[in-house]
Amino acid sequence: MAWRGFISFGRIWPPFQGRMPRVDPSAHTIKSHGATLARNHLHDWLILLLLIVIEVILFVIHPFYRFVGRDMLEDLKYPMKENTVPVWAVPLYAVLLPMAVFLLFYMRRRDVYDLHHSVLGLLFAVLITAVLTDAIKDAVGRPRPDFYWRCFPDGVEVYDKWGGVVCHGKESDIKEGHKSFPSGHTSWSFAGLGFLSLYLSGKIKAFDRQGHVAKLCIVFLPILAACLVGISRVDDYWHHWQDVFAGGLLGLVVATFCYMQFFPPPYSDDGWGPYAYFKAMEEARVSSNTNRDSPLVQAMEVPGGVNQAPRRNGDTLPPFTYHSPSLEAMELGQK
């Protein structure tokens, strides 16, 4: 089929070849370095657990019930609709889908640094975005476009002496009706898919100045999906356009900061790999050079390091003489 010639697991279309150096399969795998890497970042994983606890608390508590008067209801009478994108689907495409892509790259390159840091960065991006989103939701308490029918499901309006609404709808609907700003669907989408877009742009060298527009199409696909999710929130009358704009901006900014914490910028020459990988390679190079510079290794490598006269048949072994430049220099200095 035609698409098999474009990209496959073992072979990549020419514009994407030669961009990302291969890693020795025995160098940085989950089996060899995974446990050590996880222990080194144990505090980061504990912070992720703390963010989950904070997110649960923010989701459970009641938001600020903003004053809603009679005149304000004219803009809040949109009909209640079901979500085009269900809540349960958000973690699937914003978290699990990017992780599946990370795993595919790991299966190809066997670089546990890349897998670990991409997963860790993604989870930080999504959870930080979730905490910020729900904290702002609870603090602002902006009513949703369909708030009228959440407050007065039977259409019978009741107001207090100040002209504020006295809702008699379901408590859960009223509570959810005060969580319009910013859009959680949109912020989660831009956090997860925005991180994936940055990851892909680095892996395929989208900004290598070679003019391959196909790379940009791949990079923009996750962003397009996130935009469509945001548009659906306005179409479903669950959010105002300002909520969607703020949520998208929040998620994308957090995703960028979290990505830059673990990876070089995508336009960098080293944008295809995490900082930790290059650090490990540098440490391995320094260690190799240190071992190579030792006197014993130099004597083994340099011709004449071990002086041995040629042997004839029947000759006995000549005496073994070892010359060390370092030792000779020390002896000369003492004399």
pLDDT digits (tens, 9 = 90+) for 37-68: 777 878 999 999 999 999 999 999 999 999 99
The answer to the question of residue 277 being in a domain is yes
Q: Which residues are catalytic?
A: 185, 239
Flag whether pLDDT at 238 surpasses 50.
yes
pLDDT at 230: 97
The answer to the question of residue 126 being in a domain is yes
Q: What is the dihedral of CA 133, 191, 144, 76, to 10 degrees?
A: 140
pLDDT at 335: 43
Residue 225 contacts residue 124 (beta carbons within 8 Å): no
Quick one: what percent of the chain has pLDDT higher than 90? Answer: 56
| Of 99 and 111, the one with more pLDDT | 99
The answer to the question of residue 14 being in a domain is no
The pLDDT tens digits for 76-107 are: 999 999 999 999 999 999 999 999 999 998 88
What is the number of domains present in the chain?
Answer: 1
The answer to the question of residue 40 being in a domain is yes
Flag whether pLDDT at 112 surpasses 60.
yes
The pLDDT tens digits for 266-297 are: 888 776 777 766 776 676 677 666 656 555 45
Burial tier of 191 (Cβ tally within 10 Å: 0-12, 13-18, 19+): buried
The pLDDT tens digits for 154-212 are: 999 999 989 999 999 999 999 999 999 999 999 999 999 999 999 999 888 888 788 78
The answer to the question of residue 333 being in a domain is no
Question: Which residue type occupies 293?
Answer: D
The answer to the question of residue 132 being in a domain is yes
Write out the residue range of the structural domain in which residue 155 sits: 26-283
Flag whether pLDDT at 141 surpasses 80.
yes
Tokens 């689907």, located at residue: 89
Exposure string over 123-154, b if 16+ CB within 10 A, otherwise e: bbbbbbbbbbbbebbbebbbbbbbbbbbbbee
The answer to the question of residue 92 being in a domain is yes
The answer to the question of residue 16 being in a domain is no
Q: Sorting pLDDT into bands at 50, 70 and 90, what band is 8? A: very low
